[in-house]
């Protein structure tokens, strides 16, 4: 109960960077992760993990050769993520725009999957576009960028970066209900 209260308080205080007031549901997490091949993935990146609602689901599914790297800019959420003790988790207090720089510092050159909870529709469009392009460039060939949003307004912008390789699904059992975009780099 206190975690949800703290999430709510932090999310309301920083709505422009959190984009929501309630953590993602397990239904949304499961739908976002259902097409990830956890047996072959070596590097998974999570953008905007908040308090770790989806992070925990990823950690429960990854194999022993996979690393999960989370990018979180909110101080309170970053501190909350630091409490997750898992040997395959790296939490960075960095912007998603810095994906190449930060991951190369760690010795990685590509990500197999990027899971994003970033509120792209409320981030200034120059920044959100830069995030998409930099993440696209850092994805391995046939890698997937999986993003949820609460509306379809960002579909065209994703299509501008990923072309027609976008699968769209919907999760009604989340508050608010969410659209999930799975964008594949060809």
The CA distance from 77 to 170, in Å, is: 26
CA angle 138, 144, 150 (to 5 degrees): 110
pLDDT at 15 over 50: no
The pLDDT tens digits for 65-95 are 999 999 999 999 999 999 999 999 999 999 9
Q: Specify the pLDDT at position 24.
A: 83
Q: Specify the pLDDT at position 113.
A: 98
Q: Specify the pLDDT at position 149.
A: 94
More confident residue, 34 or 19: 34
List the beta strands (DSSP E) in 88-185.
89-92, 111-116, 139-149, 166-171, 178-184
pLDDT at 13 over 70: no
The CA distance from 34 to 170, in Å, is: 13
CATH 3.20.20.140 is held by the domain 2-184: no
The CA distance from 55 to 60, in Å, is: 9
DSSP code per residue over 124-143: -HHHHHHHHHHHHHHEEEEE
Q: Read off the pTM.
A: 0.89
Domain extents in the chain: 2-184
The CA distance from 29 to 148, in Å, is: 10
Closest CA to 94 of 47, 39, 31: 47
């Amino acid at each position: 109960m206190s975690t949800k209260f703290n999430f709510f308080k932090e999310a309301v205080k920083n709505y422009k960077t959190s984009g929501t007031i309630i953590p993602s549901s397990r239904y949304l997490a499961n739908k976002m992760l259902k097409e990830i091949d956890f047996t072959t993935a070596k590097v998974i990146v999570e953008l905007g993990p908040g308090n770790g609602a989806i992070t925990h689901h990823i950690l429960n599914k990854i194999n022993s050769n996979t690393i999960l790297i989370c990018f979180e800019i909110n101080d309170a959420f970053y501190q909350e993520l630091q409490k997750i003790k898992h040997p395959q988790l790296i939490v960075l207090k960095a912007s998603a725009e810095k994906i190449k720089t930060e991951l190369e510092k760690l010795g990685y050159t590509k990500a197999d999957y990027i899971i994003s909870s970033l509120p792209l529709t409320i981030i200034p469009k120059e920044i959100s576009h830069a995030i998409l392009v930099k993440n696209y460039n850092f994805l391995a060939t046939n890698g997937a960028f999986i993003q949820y949003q609460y509306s379809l307004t960002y579909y065209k912008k994703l299509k501008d970066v990923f072309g027609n390789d976008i699968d769209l699904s919907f999760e009604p059992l989340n508050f608010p209900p969410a659209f999930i975009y799975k964008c594949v780099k060809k």
